[in-house]
């Protein structure tokens, strides 16, 4: 057992959905319920309702009979679609939530980077939270002192170090959270995909730090939708589907199976109706992302010859913000095909915006993309491109090549990640007979 960092046996987690959280109850409330509940049940029977129907709630298994082992020093990726159970697994390993069945054995100190805000006390300053997290990991003050300057420099929060973290933006919060988790050297590091909150430069820096952590011999569990990062960082990958482990093994092979076996399904539209529950932060939150064909229909099936729109709707929650949007398109191998940024938008780029719901639309050309699936990530950023919220692989589209497309009558394999329709022209420079006469002369 000395070589095992994490051991999970038949781990299951059940959640009850549809039930309301009960508020604070007094003794008077309890006694009143006890007196009136028989009459309430009788009334339901008279109305033809099943006794106890209101108390019945649907349950779901976020995890079911999950078993796995992670050796010390391993960097293991956890992949799967939204709702597969990835975050639930990490929350159980972080002791944030308890399993319904089974158990998990952790051998070593654990540092977690799950949701923005997890592990920090909002009323404490950045400085105080660094020392608090170090103490939780069992570190002495002098050990934290040795890493303190590196943490602050990495997080780039020097000016706000003595400000309560409740006043931090989501970008500042996650920079500090990652810096603390990576630099305080826990034996086991659990990382969920919160790096999407940062900008591209910060993500690159974080991935570089995680490579250093991996080379340093620490154990890492890495949850991500970014297949390129997973293949770069991890030798072994575990694929979850519906709360079950469906495949594990070599990173390249498992990622390939995930991409080819229908685990990634085209999604033409995502909508978050409740602004309080939508992805985002205190400044901006997503409302919807969708694909529309040239006729305006919401669809994930696009003829390769046709242009299509990516439509992003989002709430601006604070007056005076200068917002913008970016989309990034990847193929199923995780290769970035292109990125497009809204700073050419003459109407709103650089203008202070009022509170309200905005829609940004990017039109993508026909005769440009190859056949197959494209996954689209979006980013909403603030003034100076300095903060933002990123949502990876939020929608996807299937490109179909039809008669008259770039391929023409050729049926073989074509190279490249894009397939633009370039003009070609061939000219006859000299008839062959004239050429032969000149050679004989």
Residue 35 tokens, joined? 């007196």
- For residue 306, what pLDDT band results from cuts at 50, 70 and 90? very high
pLDDT (tens digit per residue) in 413-439: 677 888 888 888 999 888 766 656 665
Q: Is the pLDDT of residue 279 over 70?
A: yes
**Cα gap 112→95, rounded to integer Å:** 10
Q: What pLDDT is attached to residue 101?
A: 92
Strands 308-316 and 356-364 come out as antiparallel
Order of all β-strands in the sheet with 388-400: 301-303, 388-400, 372-381, 324-331, 336-341
Instruction: Give the 3-state DSSP-derived string for 173-215, with helices as H, strands as E and coil as C.
Output: HHHHHHHHHHHCCCCEEEECCCHHHCCHHHHHHHHHHHHHHHH
Average pLDDT over residues 318-323: 92
Domain 60-260, what fold?
A: Rossmann fold (3.40.50)
- Residue bearing the bigger pLDDT, 411 or 86: 86
Q: How far is CA 177 from CA 135, 138, 187, 191, in A?
A: 15, 17, 17, 11
Helix or strand (DSSP H, E) at 363: strand 356-364
Q: Which of 125-134, 178-187, 268-277, 280-289 has the lowest mean pLDDT?
A: 178-187
Domain 269-400, what fold?
A: Coagulation Factor XIII; Chain A, domain 1 (2.70.50)
**Alpha helix (H) residue ranges in 83-140:** 86-93, 126-136
Grouping H, G, I as helix, E, B as strand and the rest as coil, residue 298 is strand
Q: What pLDDT is attached to residue 81?
A: 77
Q: What pLDDT is attached to residue 165?
A: 87
Is the dihedral angle over the CA atoms 172, 176, 182, 188 positive or is it negative? negative
Q: Is the pLDDT of residue 263 over 50?
A: no
**Cα gap 21→378, rounded to integer Å:** 34
Q: Is the pLDDT of residue 123 over 60?
A: yes
Angle of CA points 127, 133, 136, to nearest 5°:
145
**Cα gap 327→313, rounded to integer Å:** 13
pLDDT (tens digit per residue) in 347-393: 999 999 999 999 999 999 999 998 888 999 999 998 888 777 888 88
pLDDT (tens digit per residue) in 24-71: 444 455 545 555 555 555 555 555 554 444 444 577 888 999 999 999
Position of tokens 């920079």?
Answer: 175
CB 430 within 8 A of CB 318: no
**Cα gap 387→172, rounded to integer Å:** 8
Beta bridge partners of 4: 71
CB 101 within 8 A of CB 9: no
Average pLDDT over residues 66-95: 88
DSSP letter for 429, please: -
Q: What mean pLDDT, rounded, does the chain reach? A: 81
Strands 219-223 and 188-191 come out as parallel
Q: Is the pLDDT of residue 162 over 70?
A: yes
How is the chain split into domains, by residue range? Answer: 60-260, 269-400
Average pLDDT over residues 71-90: 87
Q: What pLDDT is attached to residue 102?
A: 93
Grouping H, G, I as helix, E, B as strand and the rest as coil, residue 12 is strand
Beta bridge partners of 378: 327, 391
Number of C-beta neighbours around residue 324 at 10 A: 19
Average pLDDT over residues 231-244: 88
Enter the pTM of the model. Answer: 0.54
**Cα gap 407→134, rounded to integer Å:** 59
Q: Among residues of the chain, what percentage have pLDDT more than 90?
A: 30
Q: Among residues of the chain, what percentage have pLDDT more than 70?
A: 81
Beta bridge partners of 291: 310
DSSP letter for 383, please: G
- For residue 313, what pLDDT band results from cuts at 50, 70 and 90? very high
Q: What pLDDT is attached to residue 328?
A: 94
291 phi and psi, to 5 degrees?
-105, 130
CB 144 within 8 A of CB 130: yes
Q: What pLDDT is attached to residue 55?
A: 45
């Amino acid at each position: 057992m000395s070589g095992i960092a994490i051991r999970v046996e038949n781990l299951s987690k059940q959640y009850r959905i549809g039930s309301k959280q009960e508020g604070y109850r007094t003794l008077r409330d309890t006694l009143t319920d006890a007196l009136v509940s028989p009459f309430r049940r009788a009334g339901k029977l008279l109305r033809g309702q099943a006794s106890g129907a209101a108390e019945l709630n649907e349950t779901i298994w976020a995890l079911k009979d999950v078993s796995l082992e992670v050796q010390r020093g391993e960097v293991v990726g956890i992949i799967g679609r939204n709702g597969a159970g990835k975050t639930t697994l990490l929350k159980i390993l972080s002791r944030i939530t308890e399993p319904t069945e089974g158990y998990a054995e952790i051998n070593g100190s654990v540092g977690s980077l799950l949701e923005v805000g997890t592990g920090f006390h909002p009323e404490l300053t950045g400085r105080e939270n660094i020392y608090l997290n170090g103490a939780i990991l069992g570190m002495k003050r002098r050990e934290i002192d040795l890493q303190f300057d590196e943490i602050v420099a990495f997080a780039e929060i020097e000016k706000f170090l003595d400000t309560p973290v409740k006043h931090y933006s989501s970008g500042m919060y996650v920079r500090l959270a990652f810096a603390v988790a990576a630099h305080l050297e826990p034996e086991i590091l659990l990382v969920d995909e919160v790096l999407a909150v940062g900008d591209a430069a910060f993500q690159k820096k974080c991935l570089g730090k995680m490579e250093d952590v991996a080379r340093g011999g620490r154990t890492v569990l890495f949850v991500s939708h970014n297949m390129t990062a997973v293949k770069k960082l991890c030798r072994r990958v575990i694929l979850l589907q519906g709360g079950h482990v469906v495949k594990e093994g070599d990173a390249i092979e498992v990622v390939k199976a995930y991409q080819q076996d229908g685990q990634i399904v085209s999604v033409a539209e995502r909508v978050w109706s409740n602004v309080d529950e939508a992805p985002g932060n205190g400044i901006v939150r997503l409302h919807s992302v969708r694909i529309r064909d040239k006729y305006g229909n919401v669809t994930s099936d696009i003829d390769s010859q046709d242009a299509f729109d990516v439509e992003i709707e989002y709430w601006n929650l604070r007056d005076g913000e200068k917002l913008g949007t970016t989309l990034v398109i990847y193929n199923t191998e995780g290769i970035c095909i292109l990125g497009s940024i809204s700073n050419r938008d003459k109407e709103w780029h650089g203008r202070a915006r009022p509170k309200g719901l905005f829609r940004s639309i990017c039109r993508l050309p026909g005769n440009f993309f190859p056949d197959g699936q494209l996954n689209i990530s979006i980013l909403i950023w603030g003034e100076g491109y300095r903060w933002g919220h990123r949502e990876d692989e939020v929608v996807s589209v299937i490109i179909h090549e039809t008669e008259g497309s770039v391929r023409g009558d050729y049926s073989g394999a074509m190279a490249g990640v894009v397939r633009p329709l370039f003009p070609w022209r061939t000219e006859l420079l000299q008839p062959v007979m004239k050429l032969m006469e000149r050679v004989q002369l």
